[in-house]
Chain A
């Protein structure tokens, strides 16, 4: 293999890594060509001449400048665009890259379209060392709490927020990583090809990088290297095989690309075994006072955890929630019942900060939902499950729970980079904790199964395990028993009861009236957005308004019969 091929395999892989950096967080950005161009041109203009200070020092200075410029450009572009999703982000970043190219073409100091002449410094060894460093970075990033947070954002952004992950900050840092890696690519490119021209950072180059990352596998850290090896070698192989130069070669290359994309949706990386986090067999229960976990302070028994005064939510002319006053004290288990459309989920969405209230005062664990970002409310100690499961489908059950433990885990990425023993220890503690949470809901033996492959009932239980992993002060369960059979629902009742015994504050929405009656200290009944009754289970059962509105007045099945009262 010739020198140039070796270098280009490495360079193309580095470019692909700059796409991988954001793809792992579910972002589609095409701005990397712009970051690379800015980094490369600035570095070449500012770095000392290799002839004066020596090849490697000059290149190192240039790399430093290129990566810093690339990262800064990513911050500048990221701040206004991070709220964009999917194709909108792609278009915005593409526009940026195009603007950079035009700028560089028209600037004096870049030599315009004629570009800048750069001494050749990069050797295959340098290129591969740089690639190894980049690959190492992403290898260490993957199983860290930071890496898992990015994966969670990719899988389900809303759920990630509710797990206490600061989505904006994580997306921005992924974007900045992409900018720095793209800057590195630009500098290495410049110091290898001798002529740095803006045309080499155009739309086609961005698409090349994206395709390489996707063909290799955008969720597997070796993917970009595999993609680059494949795509760079296809023309070489054809040349070696004597395929006649001309249109037939790009045609074959495109056909192979199509084959890979069609038959390997996970990219070439899907040939490699996936490394899953494994629970240690010695893992004990879900104790949260382990050293290595971030300690949390819970409100003392009886102190108000939730305080709502005059809570309202209007959707246009529809009053989903009207003048609700609700106080939940620490250690209380409160059931929220009512017919479908009564506003129960809207109410808990407002409590957990996902939906801002139209009016009223909300105070939850010292935060102001609606004004405080969702992840801060989660950090304050609110944890929840969703009416419709919002798991991270391509992560295993254990990994889902590990994401749930985000707010109590210590950041390990930087320590993992340096192989500090503390990182491994902290990771092990979090894994034990997560395994304990899984065991608590009865899923210990399913820990390495992908969430999407679990049965419906198991998915509901996994959501509870994930919510428990954050060691919450307030646990909101939105119809946890939906779709469970009687045996499972009974087990769930016991679990909720045992959690309540430990002093956990729980807000439970459930149609299974039997379960609510059995587990709740107090029940709040909503109808058409208004609280129509509140009291102990016995009081609620006797309340004629509740019976009328929800439990049903038909005497054949007296209220309170377990499992059967599903007001549909």
Chain B
């Protein structure tokens, strides 16, 4: 094939693509309109008959989810996708109400996040929120303005639900988990003096640091040193040497998992044997997988622990392992819970209409979930008990 043929081929395929694109866009719009019509439809449609378990809705309730399946937050997004799909499959078996779950990828890019959200709000009765908090701040207002309820399943930053009365979340905030973690750890290890380290270029870890610092103050623990690093850093030896010199009772670290693993490993190498208390970023099985023995003694507060008691949790873990051949993590558990909570909200009013789901979510109280007994409070944030875990023999166990 000579060069001009190749060029012609490339050009024509690009053109073909562009043409299909136009067609596709039109088709998408038309579909969106049709969906909107169905959503607004009075007869049959998304309003059902019966209540609670007996509720029957004729059409599947459209649920959109914007997750970071590729890009920087892909590891979280993939877990969430697995959790959601598992929940959707289980709900389909229950019957009565079915869900048409559409999962879209925001590529961990705000531009994609906004675009995807705009599209999902057109077609869905409820949208399951973006993986990362910053993305949520940028995308959620679109749903708020369109009057579509949003359920955040992993965002822990403050102010997420303050963006509007259509925004709910099932994930615990750092402000809910960290004080419990600090209190439990202070009690268990008799902490008096700690060194705090955090990455100051990430919204999540920075707000985590703020909560840590007020919780430590509350517990009367002295912070002898505060050290900052970047989320992209991998060498913490200099900082850790400085930290070690302060002879703390514990290291308190607010960082993402990418920093957590080298930080913990290097701390142990330098002979820092005190407990390391981490934020939600540390709540990842990778810590033990990649950190090995170094991870022993890391204390992490979490919304969910695999060893938590309860039938629901055991069944969830079994089903997840059967499906994916691996243990679920908290992101999967929260995503799984998210769809289950939506189901509870839909069944409460036996309607898949946006306003009814909104009312249903606001009324969620004492629902049994894999995260524990969950309620949604007046600020539209979830409330349930956090678990304080410590790494022992290579796995997260509940710290008593």
Complex alpha-carbon distance, A120 and B141, angstroms: 9
Residue of B nearest to A11 (CB): B111
Residue of B nearest to A253 (CB): B107
Interface size class of A (residues with CB under 8 A): 35 or more
Q: Which residues of A contact B186 (CB under 8 A)?
A: none
Q: Which residues of B contact A241 (CB under 8 A)?
A: 20-21, 24
Whether B118 contacts A2 by the Cβ 8 Å rule is yes
Residue of A nearest to B205 (CB): A113
Whether A113 contacts B118 by the Cβ 8 Å rule is no
Q: Which residues of B contact A418 (CB under 8 A)?
A: none
Q: Which residues of B contact A235 (CB under 8 A)?
A: 107, 112, 115
Complex alpha-carbon distance, A115 and B107, angstroms: 20
Q: Does B200 contact A (CB under 8 A)?
A: yes
Which residues of B in the span 53-90 have a Cβ within 8 Å of any Cβ on A? 69-70
B10: contacting residue among A4, A237, A259, CB under 8 A: A259
B70: contacting residue among A12, A114, A193, A249, CB under 8 A: A249
Q: Does B137 contact A (CB under 8 A)?
A: yes
**A290: min CB distance to chain B, Å:** 44
Contacts A193-B138, A236-B21, A245-B69; A3 near B118 (Cβ below 8 A): yes
A247: contacting residue among B70, B112, B200, CB under 8 A: B70
B103: contacting residue among A197, A245, A250, CB under 8 A: A245
Residue in B69, B104, B203 with the greatest tally of chain A CB atoms within 10 Å: B203
Q: Does A233 contact B (CB under 8 A)?
A: yes
Which residues of B in the span 1-16 have a Cβ within 8 Å of any Cβ on A? 6-7, 10-11, 14
**B51: min CB distance to chain A, Å:** 35
Q: Does B350 contact A (CB under 8 A)?
A: no
Which residues of A in the span 194-235 have a Cβ within 8 Å of any Cβ on B? 194-195, 197-200, 232-233, 235
Q: Does A106 contact B (CB under 8 A)?
A: yes
Q: Does A318 contact B (CB under 8 A)?
A: no
Whether B206 contacts A114 by the Cβ 8 Å rule is yes
Q: Does B222 contact A (CB under 8 A)?
A: no
**B198: min CB distance to chain A, Å:** 10
Residue of A nearest to B115 (CB): A4
Residue of B nearest to A120 (CB): B141
Complex alpha-carbon distance, A114 and B202, angstroms: 7
Residue of A nearest to B66 (CB): A245
B137: contacting residue among A101, A106, A117, CB under 8 A: A117
Whether A114 contacts B157 by the Cβ 8 Å rule is yes
Interface size class of B (residues with CB under 8 A): 35 or more
Residue of A nearest to B230 (CB): A102
Q: Does A5 contact B (CB under 8 A)?
A: yes
B134: contacting residue among A195, A236, A237, CB under 8 A: A195
A113: contacting residue among B7, B10, B70, B202, CB under 8 A: B202
Complex alpha-carbon distance, A5 and B119, angstroms: 10
Interface string of B107-148 (1 = CB under 8 A from A): 100111011001100100000000000100110011000000
Q: Which residues of B contact A198 (CB under 8 A)?
A: 201
B201: contacting residue among A12, A105, A193, CB under 8 A: A105
Contacts A115-B203, A237-B24; A8 near B115 (Cβ below 8 A): yes
Q: List 15 A-B contacts (CB under 8 A).
A: A2-B122, A4-B111, A4-B114, A4-B118, A113-B206, A114-B203, A120-B141, A195-B134, A195-B137, A239-B119, A245-B104, A246-B69, A246-B70, A256-B14, A256-B17
| 16 more CB-based (< 8 A) A-B contacts, given A115-B137, A197-B134, A247-B70 | A2-B122, A4-B115, A12-B111, A102-B201, A112-B203, A113-B200, A113-B202, A120-B141, A194-B141, A195-B110, A195-B138, A200-B110, A235-B107, A237-B17, A240-B25, A246-B69
Q: What is B's interface to A at a CB cutoff of 8 Å?
A: 6-7, 10-11, 14, 17-18, 20-21, 24-25, 27-28, 69-70, 103-105, 107, 110-112, 114-115, 118-119, 122, 134, 137-138, 141-142, 157, 200-203, 205-207, 230
Q: What is A's interface to B at a CB cutoff of 8 Å?
A: 1-5, 8, 12, 101-102, 105-106, 112-115, 117, 120, 193-195, 197-200, 232-233, 235-237, 239-241, 245-247, 249-250, 256, 259-260, 263-264, 271
